[in-house]
Amino acid sequence: MELLPVTQQLITKSWKQSVEYKGWKKIKAATKIILANALNTKADNPLPAFPSSRQQIYILTGPIHSGKTTSLINWPANRNDVYGILTPVVNEKRVFMNAHTKEQFPMQAAEHEKEVLTVGKYTFSKANFDTAIQVIRDAIQKNGWLIIDEVGPLELRNEGFNSILKEVLTNRTEKTLVVVREGLTNEVENHFLITDAIVVNDIKKLPD
């Protein structure tokens, strides 16, 4: 039974990769691609290995600057089972915040930093992204909620939280909340082969 989600993701991915073919040629091509993907353990976007049926994936989405992160900061005020990373704006600058301890550290790169990640006009610290990734990794096996805020253009080009989200999807069996800006939900689901996420636009719709 635990193999069924993996098989579904494998077939879905392979069918999309055979898009250039039609009719019986598409079926034959997809069959070959399924076999190739099943045997290719070094693929750029490997499938999760035996995900647990207990895993619960939620996607919180909404327009840019719509208050998604602010609502998430207030959400765990009276609970002690929320972990991961939030990215609020503090003094007009985006920062990383440990969702459990509320510790903050810069997200934007300092002038002297050489290893950076860029999205549009924004330049982010690679070193501090690595620190944020470690915060997420340390919480993968913890009970409660794990938040990754947010997944977007960086991750879709295999940077930022790309690798750690794959780890979470593969290894975590508790509730995971991924924040995605409006308009990118389908792209994120396809990129990470997420087939059973519950998409919400209000944290009040999340279970306890």
Low-confidence ranges of the chain (pLDDT < 70): 1-6, 8-10, 13-14, 16-21, 36-55
pLDDT, residue 56, reads 87
Q: What is the pTM of this model?
A: 0.74
C-alpha 76/C-alpha 79 separation (Å) is: 5
pLDDT at residue number 17:
65
70 and 150 together in one domain: yes
**192 & 150 share domain:** yes
How many distinct structural domains can be found in the chain? 2
Range of the domain at 27: 1-47
Question: Is 96 in contact with 105 (CB distance < 8 Å)?
Answer: yes
- Answer for the pair 82, 75: CB distance below 8 angstroms, yes or no: yes
Residue 53, pLDDT score: 43
Please indicate, yes or no, whether residues 118 and 145 belong to a single structural domain of this protein: yes
Q: What is the pLDDT of residue 52?
A: 42
Query: Helix 3-17 vs helix 23-39: angle between axes, to the nearest 10 degrees?
Result: 130
Q: Which of 41, 52, 56 is nearest to 10 (CA)?
A: 41
pLDDT of residue 39: 64
Whether 72 and 149 map to the same domain: the answer is yes
